[in-house]
Amino acid sequence: MANLVAIVGRPNVGKSTLFNRLTQSRRAIVSETAGTTRDRQYGKCTWNAKEFSVVDTGGWVVNSDDIFEDAIRRQVIVATQEADLVLFLVDVTTGVTDWDEDVATILRRAKLPTILVANKVDNSSAYYEAAEFYKLGLGEPRCISAATGGGTGDLLDTLVDML
């Protein structure tokens, strides 16, 4: 699939919230494959007259209290194999976690266009806290609030320029 953007990150960082915001009413499951992709949700988004597909990679760990490190790793590796660009979502309210560092390492090695996105930046003080994510080695964190939509327009401008 051309122009496929994968949203990856730990459970609860806001992947599905961002997916729903990007795809809105155009949300549609366009692919349902057995095996590793069975819980992946696909949708479409148009911005500045560019259309791209979005995949929310988090399906398999939703509704689970246990976070399986291997499942997340696998999720990220599958995403890097099929995606043209990765949105790596992190959570400003928790700060950098070991898992974020693991995922960042996988993404750096994959050498895929990646945008580091700090979510839950609901107010201006959270912008300063987001600077901590620089240490993941994936460049400047883009601050958004998936819940309110804050920052998502700027993020989309950057994203479609990279496609």
Binding mask 4-23 for Mg ion (x = CB under 5 A): -----------xx-------
Binding partner selected for residue 17 from Mg ion, ligand GDP, none, CB under the kind-specific 5 to 8 Å limit: ligand GDP
Residue 145's binding partner, choosing from Mg ion, ligand GDP, none, with beta-carbon cut-off 5 to 8 A by kind?
ligand GDP
Among 12, 27, 37, 112, binds ligand GDP (CB under 6 A): 12
Q: Tally helices (H) and strands (E) across the chain.
A: 5, 6
Cβ-contact 90, 116 below 8 angstroms: yes
Residue 120 contacts ligand GDP per CB under 6 A = yes
Q: Cβ(113)–Cβ(137) under 8 Å?
A: no
Q: Considering the rule CB under 6 A, would residue 43 count as an interface residue with ligand GDP?
A: no
The rounded distance, in Å, linking the Cα atoms of 16 and 62 is 10
Closest among 160, 153, 151 to 113, alpha carbons compared: 160
Choose the one of ligand GDP, Mg ion, none that binds residue 43, judging by a C-beta under 5 to 8 angstroms depending on kind: none
The residue type at 73: R
Is 53 marked as a binding-site residue? no
Tokens representing 124?
């201006």
For residues 36 and 71, give the distance between their C-alpha atoms in angstroms, rounded to a whole number: 10
Q: Cα dihedral angle (79, 135, 161, 107), rounded to 10 degrees?
A: -20
The answer to whether 14 is annotated as binding is yes
> Is 111 known as a binding-site position?
no
> Which positions lie near ligand GDP, rule CB under 6 A?
9, 11-17, 58, 62, 119-120, 122, 145-147
Annotated binding site: 9-16, 56-60, 119-122
> Which positions lie near Mg ion, rule CB under 5 A?
15-16, 58, 62
